[in-house]
Amino acid sequence: MKSLRSMIDGLRRPRPWPVASALIVLALTGPLAADLRSAPLTPDVFGTEKALRRQTGVFEDPWGRVCAQPTGALSFSAAVDLALCRNPTTRAAWASAHEQAAVLGAAESAWLPSVGAFASNRSTSGQHVDATAHIVDMSQRTKDVAANLSLTLYDFGGREGRIQVAHQVLNSTALTANSVSQQTVLAVVQSYYGAAAADDLLEAAVHTEAVYARSLEIARSLQSGGVATLADVLQVETVYGESVYSRIQAVAAAKEAHGVLAVTLGLPADQGFKLEKANVPAVPPALTTQMADLMAEAARQRPDLGAAQAVRDAASAEVTVARAAGRPTLSFGMSRSAADITGIPSQNYNTVGFSVTVPIFNGFGTTYGIRQAKAALDASEANVEQARLSVSLGVWNAYYGLTAANESLAATAALMSAAARNEEVALGRYQSGVGTILDVLTAESGAASGRQLRINAELGWQVARAQLALALGRLTGAQPLSQDAAP
C-alpha cells in the first residue's frame, strides 16, 4: 500500500493529463470568453441562454450593447433603438430573464454527479488521546485526503419536475422581456410623437398669436379712421392676451414633452433633441384584415399570453414535484480516502454503494403540498383565460381606435381647409367695413382650433397604429410602423 507521501510525490511529477484537461477546458470556454457577459470559468454548458433567446423574438439583448447616442436630428427608428438599449425597465426585464436562465442551469445540473474533495494536515502536541484511544504525551501528525462522488439515480420525477418548472419559468420571464420591450416601443411612439406634437402645437400657438396681433393692428387702424369702435379694439386685445398666455403654456408643454422623451430613451430629462418631421399620409391606408384573423394572430404571438401559459405549465410541473416529495429516492455514491497518522498504519481505501431514502411520515406535509400545487395550477389556468380575454379586448379596442384615427385624419384635413378659407374671408370683409370684429375673431378661433385638432389627430393616428401592432404582438421595433407595413 502506497503511503500518503508517495501519493503526494506522485502528484508532483509532471503528467500529460493535467495539460490535456487544461486544453479541453480552454477549448470549451474559449468561445464563451468573447461574450462580455460570460466568464471563462463559468461556461453555459446547458445552453440556457439559447433557450432564453428562443422566446425573445427579434429583440436584441441590451446587456453588452454599446448604446451610442445618434448625432443630428433624432429619427423615430433611432429613438426606438436607443430606448431598447438604454431604457432601465427594459434592461431590468432582460436581467430577470438572464437570472432565470441561470436558475434553469442550476436545475439541469442535477443530472450530473456532485464531486468533492477534502484534504487536511494537522499536528497535535501535549497530552491527548490518540487514534487508538490511548492517552499519550507526544506529537502526532495527521494527514487526510478524500474524494467523493454522489449522484441521484431516480426520484420518481422530482428532478425532471424541478427542471421543467425552471424551464417554463424561463419561458415566462423571456416572454415577459419580449412584452416589456414591445411596451417600450409603444412608450417611444407616445413620447416621440408626443414631443413632435408639442412642438407643432407651440408653432401653432405662435402663429395664432401673430394672427391676433395682426387683427389688433387692423382694428386699431380702423378705429383711428373712424370705421371701428373702441369695443372692437378691446375685444381683439382680450383675445390677443389669451393667445399670449396659450403660447407660454405651449412652451412649457413642449419642454415637458421633450423631458418625457429623454427619460423614455434612458437619458436625463435635460437631454435635448431635434426631431425629424413625421410624414402623415393624406389618405391613411384602410383596415382590410378581418377581426377574426386579427384575434387569431394575437392569440398566436402575444408574448404576455405566452408568458401566462408558461406560468401555467410551470404550475403543472410543480404538482409533479410535490408528488415526488413523498416517494423514495435512489442514489449512488463512491469515495476514495487516504490517511497517514503518526504511529498508525497508513489507510487507503475505496467506498462504493447505493442508497435508498424512503419518506415514511412528515406530518401530512406532502399531502398539503400536493393540494397547494393543484390549487396554484387552477389559479394559473384562470390567469391564462383572463389573459386570453384581455388579448381579445385589446385587439378589439385597438382596431376601432385606429379606425377612428383614420377617419379623424380625413375630417381634420377638411376642417382645416374650410377654417382657413373662413378666416381669410372674414378678415377681408372686416377690412372692407362689411363684416364685424366678432366674425373675424370667430373665424380666427375656428382656424386655431382646427390646427390644434389636426395636430392631435396626427398624434392619435401614430399612437393608434402602435397600439394595434402591440395588441397583435408585432410591435418589435420601428419597421412594423413604417408607411408600407400591413395595417
Q: What is the CATH number of the domain that holds 345?
A: 2.20.200.10
* Residues in contact with 66: Cβ distance below 8 Å, sequence separation at least 6, in sequence order: none
Q: Is residue 98 part of a domain?
A: yes
Q: Find the CATH number of the domain harbouring 236.
A: 1.20.1600.10
- Cβ proximity of 233 and 216 under 8 Å: yes
List C-alpha distances in Å: 380 to 65, 209, 308: 35, 58, 7
- Per-residue pLDDT of 8-47, as tens digits, reads 344 334 333 333 343 334 444 444 434 445 555 578 888 8
Q: Is 375 exposed, middle or buried (0-12, 13-18, 19+ CB in 10 A)?
A: exposed
Output the CA angle 196-201-206, nearest 5 degrees. 130
Long-range interactions of 371-374: CB distance < 8 A, separation 24+? 372/322, 373/315, 373/318, 373/319, 373/321, 373/322, 374/319
- Cβ proximity of 289 and 487 under 8 Å: yes
Output the CA angle 374-380-385, nearest 5 degrees. 130
Answer yes or no: do 122 and 193 share one domain: no
| Overall number of domains in the chain | 2
* Residues in contact with 462: Cβ distance below 8 Å, sequence separation at least 6, in sequence order: 189, 193, 278, 280, 481
Q: Is residue 12 part of a domain?
A: no
Answer yes or no: do 263 and 399 share one domain: yes
| CA atoms of 205 and 211, how far apart (whole Å) | 10
Domain around 138: 113-154+327-361
Domain's final residue, options 335, 361, 387: 361
Answer yes or no: do 183 and 98 share one domain: yes
Answer yes or no: do 410 and 472 share one domain: yes
Q: What is the pLDDT of residue 10?
A: 41
Answer yes or no: do 94 and 125 share one domain: no
| CA atoms of 120 and 144, how far apart (whole Å) | 5
343: left (phi over 0), alpha (psi -120 to 50) or beta: left
Q: What is the pLDDT of residue 481?
A: 84
Answer yes or no: do 278 and 237 share one domain: yes
Q: Is residue 133 part of a domain?
A: yes
Q: Is residue 261 part of a domain?
A: yes
The series of mean pLDDT values per 10 residues for the chain, 487 residues long, is 40 37 40 46 84 88 86 92 95 95 94 93 75 72 91 93 96 96 97 96 95 91 86 92 96 97 95 87 84 95 96 96 94 91 80 93 93 97 97 97 94 92 90 86 92 94 96 92 64
Answer yes or no: do 284 and 344 share one domain: no
For the four alpha carbons of 349, 350, 354 and 359, in that order, the dihedral sign comes to: positive
Q: Is residue 487 part of a domain?
A: no
Long-range interactions of 96-100: CB distance < 8 A, separation 24+? 96/173, 96/176, 96/177, 97/52, 97/56, 97/170, 97/173, 97/174, 97/176, 97/177, 98/37, 98/49, 98/52, 98/63, 99/173, 100/52, 100/166, 100/169, 100/170, 100/173, 100/174
pTM across the whole model: 0.84
Q: Is residue 9 part of a domain?
A: no
- Cβ proximity of 117 and 146 under 8 Å: yes
Q: What is the pLDDT of residue 269?
A: 95
Answer yes or no: do 433 and 316 share one domain: yes
Exposed e or buried b per residue across 387-410, where buried means at least 16 C-beta atoms within 10 angstroms of its C-beta: bbeebbebbeebbebbeebbebbe
Q: Identify the helix (H) or strand (E) that includes residue 462.
A: helix 437-472
Which residue, among 448, 439, 436, 440, has the nearest Cα to 215 in the 3D structure? 440
| CA atoms of 339 and 357, how far apart (whole Å) | 30
- Per-residue pLDDT of 142-172, as tens digits, reads 889 999 999 999 999 999 999 999 999 999 9
Answer yes or no: do 194 and 312 share one domain: yes
Domain's final residue, options 337, 361, 385: 361
Q: What is the pLDDT of residue 33?
A: 38
* Beta-bridge partner residues of 127: 137
Answer yes or no: do 117 and 133 share one domain: yes
| CA atoms of 125 and 141, how far apart (whole Å) | 9
Strands 114-124 and 344-357: unpaired
Q: What is the pLDDT of residue 185?
A: 97
Answer yes or no: do 108 and 120 share one domain: no
The C-alpha cell that represents 181 in the structure block: 420591450
Domain's final residue, options 317, 343, 361: 361
153: left (phi over 0), alpha (psi -120 to 50) or beta: alpha
Answer yes or no: do 344 and 393 share one domain: no
